Amino acid sequence: MSLFKYLTSRTFFTQAFLAAAIVVGFTFLVIQFLDFRTNHGQEIKVPDLSKMKLEVAEEKLNELDLEVFLLDTVEFNADFPPFTILEQDPKAGSLVKDGRKVYVKLNAGEFTDITIPEFKDKTFRQISATIKSLTLKEGKVTYKPHIAKDVVLQIYQNGRRLRAGDKVKKNSVLDFVLGDGKEVFNEETFSSEEPADTLPPAEEGVTEPVEFKEENGGL
Protein backbone atom coordinates (compact mmCIF):
# COMPACT_ATOMS: atom_id res chain seq x y z
CA MET A 1 0.00 0.00 0.00
CA SER A 2 1.34 3.37 -0.98
CA LEU A 3 1.92 6.08 1.64
CA PHE A 4 -0.84 8.26 0.19
CA LYS A 5 -3.37 5.47 0.31
CA TYR A 6 -2.32 4.65 3.90
CA LEU A 7 -2.69 8.28 5.05
CA THR A 8 -6.17 8.39 3.57
CA SER A 9 -7.19 4.97 4.77
CA ARG A 10 -9.61 4.19 7.58
CA THR A 11 -6.88 2.34 9.45
CA PHE A 12 -4.71 5.46 9.68
CA PHE A 13 -7.54 7.65 10.97
CA THR A 14 -8.50 5.02 13.51
CA GLN A 15 -4.94 4.78 14.83
CA ALA A 16 -4.53 8.57 14.82
CA PHE A 17 -7.76 8.95 16.79
CA LEU A 18 -6.64 6.36 19.32
CA ALA A 19 -3.24 8.06 19.70
CA ALA A 20 -4.87 11.47 20.21
CA ALA A 21 -7.29 10.01 22.76
CA ILE A 22 -4.37 8.47 24.66
CA VAL A 23 -2.48 11.78 24.71
CA VAL A 24 -5.56 13.69 25.88
CA GLY A 25 -6.34 11.10 28.50
CA PHE A 26 -2.76 11.07 29.80
CA THR A 27 -2.67 14.89 29.93
CA PHE A 28 -5.96 14.94 31.86
CA LEU A 29 -4.62 12.43 34.40
CA VAL A 30 -1.43 14.44 34.86
CA ILE A 31 -3.42 17.62 35.49
CA GLN A 32 -5.65 15.85 37.99
CA PHE A 33 -2.62 14.44 39.77
CA LEU A 34 -0.99 17.87 40.00
CA ASP A 35 -4.23 19.39 41.28
CA PHE A 36 -4.35 16.73 43.97
CA ARG A 37 -0.74 17.24 44.96
CA THR A 38 -1.01 21.05 45.17
CA ASN A 39 -4.59 21.20 46.49
CA HIS A 40 -5.57 23.36 43.55
CA GLY A 41 -8.54 25.56 44.44
CA GLN A 42 -8.34 24.61 48.13
CA GLU A 43 -7.26 27.56 50.26
CA ILE A 44 -7.07 28.01 54.03
CA LYS A 45 -7.97 31.21 55.82
CA VAL A 46 -5.16 32.29 58.17
CA PRO A 47 -6.50 32.82 61.71
CA ASP A 48 -5.76 35.84 63.89
CA LEU A 49 -2.87 34.88 66.18
CA SER A 50 -2.63 38.25 67.91
CA LYS A 51 -1.98 38.07 71.70
CA MET A 52 -1.68 34.26 71.59
CA LYS A 53 1.09 32.32 73.29
CA LEU A 54 3.36 30.61 70.75
CA GLU A 55 2.30 27.14 71.94
CA VAL A 56 -1.40 27.95 71.52
CA ALA A 57 -0.82 29.38 68.03
CA GLU A 58 1.15 26.30 67.04
CA GLU A 59 -1.72 23.98 68.05
CA LYS A 60 -4.27 26.12 66.23
CA LEU A 61 -2.24 26.20 63.01
CA ASN A 62 -1.52 22.46 63.15
CA GLU A 63 -5.26 21.82 63.10
CA LEU A 64 -5.39 23.75 59.80
CA ASP A 65 -2.30 22.03 58.32
CA LEU A 66 -0.30 25.24 58.66
CA GLU A 67 3.02 25.83 60.41
CA VAL A 68 4.21 28.58 62.74
CA PHE A 69 7.73 29.97 62.44
CA LEU A 70 9.16 32.33 65.09
CA LEU A 71 11.19 35.14 63.55
CA ASP A 72 12.14 37.32 66.51
CA THR A 73 11.20 38.83 69.87
CA VAL A 74 10.50 42.55 69.52
CA GLU A 75 10.55 45.45 71.96
CA PHE A 76 7.91 45.30 74.67
CA ASN A 77 4.47 46.70 73.81
CA ALA A 78 2.29 47.38 76.84
CA ASP A 79 -0.88 46.79 74.77
CA PHE A 80 0.04 43.10 74.38
CA PRO A 81 0.59 40.49 77.11
CA PRO A 82 4.23 39.48 77.63
CA PHE A 83 5.56 36.73 75.34
CA THR A 84 2.51 36.72 73.06
CA ILE A 85 2.33 37.16 69.29
CA LEU A 86 2.64 40.79 68.26
CA GLU A 87 2.97 40.46 64.47
CA GLN A 88 2.20 37.76 61.89
CA ASP A 89 2.76 37.23 58.18
CA PRO A 90 0.57 36.38 56.27
CA LYS A 91 -1.96 38.62 58.00
CA ALA A 92 -5.12 37.26 59.60
CA GLY A 93 -7.75 36.51 56.96
CA SER A 94 -5.25 35.79 54.16
CA LEU A 95 -5.92 32.71 51.99
CA VAL A 96 -3.01 30.28 51.71
CA LYS A 97 -2.32 26.67 50.70
CA ASP A 98 -1.92 23.97 53.33
CA GLY A 99 1.59 23.52 54.68
CA ARG A 100 2.24 27.26 54.47
CA LYS A 101 4.45 28.79 57.18
CA VAL A 102 3.02 31.68 59.19
CA TYR A 103 5.88 33.90 60.41
CA VAL A 104 5.38 35.53 63.82
CA LYS A 105 7.13 37.96 66.18
CA LEU A 106 6.72 37.80 69.96
CA ASN A 107 6.27 40.62 72.41
CA ALA A 108 9.12 40.93 74.93
CA GLY A 109 8.50 40.17 78.60
CA GLU A 110 9.00 43.72 79.90
CA PHE A 111 10.36 47.15 79.08
CA THR A 112 14.11 47.47 78.62
CA ASP A 113 16.28 49.17 81.24
CA ILE A 114 17.22 52.83 80.80
CA THR A 115 20.21 54.41 82.57
CA ILE A 116 19.63 57.73 84.30
CA PRO A 117 22.04 60.26 82.74
CA GLU A 118 24.24 62.67 84.64
CA PHE A 119 22.14 65.70 85.60
CA LYS A 120 24.30 67.58 88.07
CA ASP A 121 24.43 71.33 87.33
CA LYS A 122 22.08 70.93 84.34
CA THR A 123 18.86 72.83 83.80
CA PHE A 124 15.48 71.19 83.52
CA ARG A 125 15.30 72.15 79.83
CA GLN A 126 18.56 70.32 79.13
CA ILE A 127 17.55 67.21 81.06
CA SER A 128 14.02 67.23 79.65
CA ALA A 129 15.30 66.78 76.10
CA THR A 130 17.55 63.92 77.20
CA ILE A 131 14.76 62.25 79.18
CA LYS A 132 12.40 62.31 76.20
CA SER A 133 15.05 60.87 73.89
CA LEU A 134 15.46 57.98 76.34
CA THR A 135 11.69 57.26 76.16
CA LEU A 136 11.15 58.33 79.78
CA LYS A 137 8.26 60.53 80.88
CA GLU A 138 8.14 63.72 82.91
CA GLY A 139 6.04 63.63 86.06
CA LYS A 140 5.58 66.18 88.83
CA VAL A 141 7.89 69.19 89.00
CA THR A 142 8.44 70.83 92.40
CA TYR A 143 10.80 73.54 93.65
CA LYS A 144 13.04 74.14 96.64
CA PRO A 145 15.18 77.08 97.72
CA HIS A 146 18.32 77.28 95.60
CA ILE A 147 20.43 80.02 94.09
CA ALA A 148 20.12 78.62 90.54
CA LYS A 149 16.71 78.76 88.88
CA ASP A 150 15.41 75.59 87.18
CA VAL A 151 18.60 73.65 87.87
CA VAL A 152 17.84 69.96 88.49
CA LEU A 153 18.55 69.14 92.12
CA GLN A 154 16.98 65.70 92.50
CA ILE A 155 15.09 63.12 90.42
CA TYR A 156 12.60 60.65 91.90
CA GLN A 157 10.61 57.67 90.68
CA ASN A 158 7.62 56.63 92.77
CA GLY A 159 9.13 58.53 95.71
CA ARG A 160 12.55 56.84 95.42
CA ARG A 161 15.48 59.18 94.79
CA LEU A 162 17.52 58.39 91.70
CA ARG A 163 21.13 59.14 90.95
CA ALA A 164 23.07 59.19 87.69
CA GLY A 165 23.72 55.62 86.59
CA ASP A 166 20.62 54.12 88.24
CA LYS A 167 18.40 51.91 86.09
CA VAL A 168 14.69 52.41 85.43
CA LYS A 169 12.32 50.78 82.96
CA LYS A 170 11.50 52.40 79.65
CA ASN A 171 8.40 54.66 79.85
CA SER A 172 8.96 55.24 83.59
CA VAL A 173 7.59 58.52 84.99
CA LEU A 174 10.18 60.70 86.72
CA ASP A 175 9.53 63.51 89.19
CA PHE A 176 11.90 66.49 89.35
CA VAL A 177 12.99 68.81 92.13
CA LEU A 178 14.29 72.11 90.74
CA GLY A 179 15.90 75.20 92.19
CA ASP A 180 13.60 78.21 92.47
CA GLY A 181 16.34 80.81 91.95
CA LYS A 182 15.17 82.88 94.91
CA GLU A 183 17.67 81.83 97.55
CA VAL A 184 20.68 83.95 98.41
CA PHE A 185 23.80 81.93 99.10
CA ASN A 186 24.54 81.17 102.75
CA GLU A 187 26.25 78.33 104.52
CA GLU A 188 23.17 77.20 106.43
CA THR A 189 20.98 76.78 103.35
CA PHE A 190 23.69 75.15 101.22
CA SER A 191 24.99 72.60 103.67
CA SER A 192 26.74 69.40 102.55
CA GLU A 193 24.05 67.20 104.09
CA GLU A 194 22.73 64.55 101.64
CA PRO A 195 19.01 64.81 100.89
CA ALA A 196 16.74 61.91 101.80
CA ASP A 197 16.40 58.97 99.42
CA THR A 198 12.63 59.24 99.46
CA LEU A 199 10.50 62.16 98.33
CA PRO A 200 9.18 64.16 101.32
CA PRO A 201 5.36 64.20 101.66
CA ALA A 202 3.58 67.31 100.41
CA GLU A 203 2.17 69.68 103.03
CA GLU A 204 -1.62 69.86 103.27
CA GLY A 205 -3.25 72.87 101.66
CA VAL A 206 -0.19 73.68 99.57
CA THR A 207 -0.63 73.79 95.81
CA GLU A 208 2.13 73.35 93.26
CA PRO A 209 4.79 74.47 92.98
CA VAL A 210 5.72 72.94 96.34
CA GLU A 211 8.77 74.18 98.17
CA PHE A 212 10.61 71.53 100.14
CA LYS A 213 11.71 72.73 103.61
CA GLU A 214 14.42 70.12 104.06
CA GLU A 215 17.75 71.64 104.86
CA ASN A 216 20.06 70.43 102.15
CA GLY A 217 21.77 71.97 99.25
CA GLY A 218 21.25 69.88 96.14
CA LEU A 219 22.78 66.70 94.74
Is 70 in a helix, a strand, or coil? strand
Give per-residue pLDDT as tens, 70-125. Answer: 999 998 998 999 999 999 999 999 999 988 999 999 999 888 899 999 998 899 99
pLDDT, greater one: 218 or 80: 80
Three-state DSSP string of 130-175: HHHHCCCEEEEEEEECCCCEEEEEEEEECCEEECCCCEEECCCEEE
Percent of the chain at pLDDT above 90? 53
Determine contact, residues 84/51, Cβ cutoff 8 Å: yes
Backbone angles phi, psi at 132, to 5 degrees: -65, -40
pTM of the predicted structure, to 2 decimals: 0.53
- Look up the CATH number of domain 113-179: 3.30.10.20
Give per-residue pLDDT as tens, 140-169. Answer: 999 999 999 999 999 999 999 999 999 999
Three-state DSSP string of 43-59: CEECCCCCCCEHHHHHH
- Look up the CATH number of domain 43-107: 3.30.10.20
Range from 38-47, 155-164, 203-212 that averages highest in pLDDT: 155-164
Domain boundaries, the chain: 43-107, 113-179
